């Protein structure tokens, strides 16, 4: 349980959500077995809805891990949408590259290696949609760095802001 809702509420919400494709299901299983954090099913569904509404052409993700959310976002955007994702851990980048290479989205997702606080200083593109899913204690710093890359009318989504009482620490 994520400690925000009662478990029975979470179970009910998840019972209503559609299943993901085979690649994402395999990644979900890997993440569970190897304790790799990925977005929760209800967050994945929210991302799908927001992406369908926004229809972004350029996405920035901070925190790649195994590439799960990058692939999820690629699946729910058009072929014209490019995704740039930032990850500091080389082992995660290797897994993400492997997972991404098996999909039709491999030419639309670019992984940048490095500490987010450093990479965000050198980016020079604009993004319609920015997804923050990295070090929770640094979200305000990431947000302040990312806001200058956001296109007018763009959306920034931060995952896990209530995770294990992080909110008071972030604010």
The domain ranges of the chain are 7-170
Radius of gyration of the chain (CA): 15
pTM above threshold 0.75: yes
Enter the CATH code of domain 7-170: 3.40.50.150
Amino acid 108: pLDDT = 97
Amino acid 16: pLDDT = 57
Amino acid 4: pLDDT = 58
Read off the tokens for 58: 């350029």
Determine if residue 65 is left, alpha or beta; phi over 0 gives left, psi from -120 to 50 gives alpha, anything else beta: left
Q: CB 118: neighbour CB atoms within 10 A?
A: 10
Per-residue pLDDT of the chain (171 residues; tens, 9 = 90+): 455 567 766 666 655 555 666 788 888 899 899 999 888 888 888 899 999 999 999 999 999 999 999 999 999 998 999 999 999 999 999 999 999 999 999 999 999 999 999 999 999 999 999 999 887 677 788 888 999 999 999 999 988 655 554 444 444
Amino acid 165: pLDDT = 45
Q: How many helices (H) and strands (E) does the chain have?
A: 8, 5
């Amino acid at each position: 349980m994520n400690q925000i809702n009662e478990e029975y509420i979470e179970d009910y919400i998840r019972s209503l959500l559609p299943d993901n494709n085979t690649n994402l299901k395999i990644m979900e299983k890997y993440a569970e077995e190897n304790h790799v954090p990925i977005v929760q099913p209800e967050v994945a569904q929210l991302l799908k809805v927001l992406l369908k509404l926004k229809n972004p052409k350029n996405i920035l993700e901070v925190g790649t891990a195994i590439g799960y959310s990058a692939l999820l976002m690629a699946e729910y955007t058009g072929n014209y949408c490019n995704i740039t994702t930032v990850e500091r851990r080389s082992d995660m980048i290797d897994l993400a590259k492997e997972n991404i290479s098996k999909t039709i989205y491999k030419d639309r997702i670019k992984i940048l290696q490095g500490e987010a606080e450093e990479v965000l200083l050198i980016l020079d593109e604009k993004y319609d949609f920015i997804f923050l899913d990295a070090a929770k204690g640094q979200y305000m710093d990431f947000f302040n760095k990312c806001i200058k890359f956001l296109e007018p009318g763009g959306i920034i989504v931060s995952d896990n802001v209530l995770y294990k009482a992080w909110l008071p620490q972030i604010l």
